Structure 1
Amino acid sequence: MTKAPAEPEVESFLAMLAAQRGAAANTLAAYRRDLAQAAQTVGELAGAGRDDIAGLAAAWADLAPSSLARKASALRQFYGFLVDEGLREDDPSSALPRPRTRRPLPRLLDHAAISALFATAEADACAGTPEGLRLLALLELLYGSGLRATELVSLPIAAVPRDAPFLTITGKGGVQRMVPVSARAVRALSEWLAIRGKGGRFVFPSPKGGHLSRVRLFQLLRDLAGRAGLDPETVSPHVLRHAFATHLLEGGADLRVLQTLLGHADIATTQIYTHVDSARLVALVNQRHPLGNASTG
């Protein structure tokens, strides 16, 4: 029997995973398999509604929690991709079953890695090239303001006020928030805008029209990481957003303030960073306390 071709939306989603996240062939095959199996129950995934998705609970009733979590994650990411790309307005994945599994801690970059990234980007910017100035502005906004990749690449010129250190960001669900911009980020952004030229509605335009793509942003960061002596696999827009949040929390930021800055609708999403900070504190005590390495015998 000839296997039916995957939906074009599924193929686009898998291509994004490969380009942006560097997903391995086995990982892509697992996503493809999970989505194909869901489609056997639901039908066409791209157009499925909440009731269709809710029907998967019965089909998955005998699965182990880890398998159920993996399949649900594949669908959530798929529908999140469709919403981000403007291919549908609603996300039906909220109807998926949610197994009780421990949420992994986000991947982190320490202060030394961040310093290495900025040292390399600043050296590029000193040359005064458009590419160097753009990269530094991108890095400053990712780490300095915690923007999502989509929010950053699609940032319109109108969102950058001339007389206030804030950006007006339109996040998930069309919800707007004000994001403060550091003095150094304002300087990098100003230098980029001065050389960017006029025309176009986006801060980071694409030579082909529209705005810089998320795939290109991912590639730029990986190249920067390699030149900074870091493992490119450890650096991405999302990792820099995590670093922004974690380092603010380390510095004493309030969790509610962090929720606002990140644009989280639910404080529970932000609370993952309390676990990150707690883990760091435990490691710090074990490493630095006078009795941390003392024998208990």
Structure 2
Amino acid sequence: MSEEINHFILTLNSEDGVHKNTIISYKYDINQFNNFIKKKKKTFKSIIRKDILNFLQSLKLKNVKPKTKSRKMFALKRFYKYLMSERIIKNNPMEKIENYLKIPKTQDTPSISLSADQIKKILEFVSKKTNDYKDIRSNLIIELLYSTGIRVSELISIKTNNIDLQKKNILIDPPEKGKSRKERIVFFAEQTKEVIEKYLEFRKIYFKEKDSPWLFPSNNTNDFLTRRRVLQIMHNLADKIKIDKNLMHPHSFRHAFGNHLLNSGADIRVVQKLLGHSSIMTTQRYTEHRDKLIETIENFHPLNKNNENIV
């Protein structure tokens, strides 16, 4: 990694409000650009706007998603703004770059939902493989995504001491940096409670020498599983179950959670709160909404045993 990139990353790490995942992405994006211009025998100081446009065009030829392309462009804008502030360069090739290209707006995540039959097929498969830690982990990941409608970023950062098995809920801590989301409560079905209990037994044995606060600890670091690793787990399941990999995405389960509750007759305003949308339920308002939210999960979620509309 070049000295300029290294100093830029150190600067980002020292700033408040910059999420760790953002820094990792920017580092990857800028290194990718650096490798591109190296092949042209150029440096960060010698490039011109045309070089950046050529880089963005190369991404298009590789079928890089518009959202990812936009992120890479924003990373370069921040990087070159830093180079200007440090007087490493005199002219900013990223200035007014938008005037020279058009990147379409995209949704944050695909609105792909799994059908009730597909959910049933997936749950039946993962529930049968519960004699190995990684299998039961896969089972719980699927259960939590579908049972709670949780975001993948929330899923991977669950702490074990934030799980209340008696009340069947999980406190979701807000991200440490960069996001405005507040802490909230998510609720899970009785079936999911049983999977959590079994997983915690396996986890205790598997990580007996590792004291980690995370529900899903990483094998290689002291941190939690990455989003990329969760996606790999889901794609591996897709191959085994013979389901389209594009459907086996964490957001697909979140989307299915909302759709299936609504299809079962749940109030759309309550579903909105359960998903943590605009009317986010904070812990301060917890008692105000708790009973209604629990009632919705118990009466309308397909995973609850007392619900006749079982998936």
Cα distance change of structure 1 residues 62 and 142 upon mapping to structure 2, 3 Å threshold:
same
Structure 1: runs of 5 or more not aligned: 16-22, 48-55, 78-103, 268-297
Instruction: Quote how far apart the aligned CAs of 1:163 are.
Output: 2.2
Counterparts of 2:82 and 2:162, CA distance in 1: 32
Counterparts of 1:31 and 1:45, CA distance in 2: 21
Q: Which has the larger radius of gyration?
A: 2
2:151 match: 148
Map Cα deviations across residues 178-209 of structure 1 (whole Å, 9 max, x no partner): 11110000000010001111521011111122
Does residue 204 (structure 1) correspond to residue 216 (structure 2)? The answer is: yes
Is the contact made by 1:165 and 1:186 (CA closer than 8 Å) also made in structure 2? Answer: yes
Does residue 227 (structure 1) correspond to residue 234 (structure 2)? The answer is: no
Counterparts of 2:100 and 2:60, CA distance in 1: 28
Map Cα deviations across residues 127-160 of structure 1 (whole Å, 9 max, x no partner): x211111111111000110111111111001111
Local SS of the residue matching 1:28: coil
Instruction: Quote how far apart the aligned CAs of 1:245 are.
Output: 1.0
Cα distance change of structure 1 residues 161 and 149 upon mapping to structure 2, 3 Å threshold:
same
Is the contact made by 2:30 and 2:75 (CA closer than 8 Å) also made in structure 1? Answer: no
Instruction: Quote how far apart the aligned CAs of 1:107 are.
Output: 1.1
Moved more, 115-124 or 32-41: 32-41
Local SS of the residue matching 1:179: strand
Is the contact made by 2:235 and 2:245 (CA closer than 8 Å) also made in structure 1? Answer: yes
Counterparts of 2:263 and 2:62, CA distance in 1: 37
Does residue 124 (structure 1) correspond to residue 154 (structure 2)? The answer is: no
Instruction: Quote how far apart the aligned CAs of 1:44 are.
Output: 3.6
Instruction: Quote how far apart the aligned CAs of 1:224 are.
Output: 0.9
Q: 2:270 aligns with which of 251, 254, 257?
A: 257
Counterparts of 2:201 and 2:213, CA distance in 1: 15
The two structures, once aligned, show a CA RMSD in angstroms of 3.8
Counterparts of 2:261 and 2:104, CA distance in 1: 30
1:138 match: 141
Identity rate of aligned residues, in percent? 24
Cα distance change of structure 1 residues 32 and 158 upon mapping to structure 2, 3 Å threshold:
closer
Structure 2: runs of 5 or more not aligned: 10-24, 32-58, 84-93, 281-311
Is the contact made by 2:66 and 2:103 (CA closer than 8 Å) also made in structure 1? Answer: no
Stretches of 4+ moved more than 4 A in 1?
29-43, 58-63
Q: Aligned runs of 1:160-175 on 2, under 5 Å?
A: 160-171=163-174, 173-175=180-182
The two structures have a TM-score, normalised by structure 1, of: 0.61
Is the contact made by 1:135 and 1:220 (CA closer than 8 Å) also made in structure 2? Answer: yes
Counterparts of 1:177 and 1:38, CA distance in 2: 30
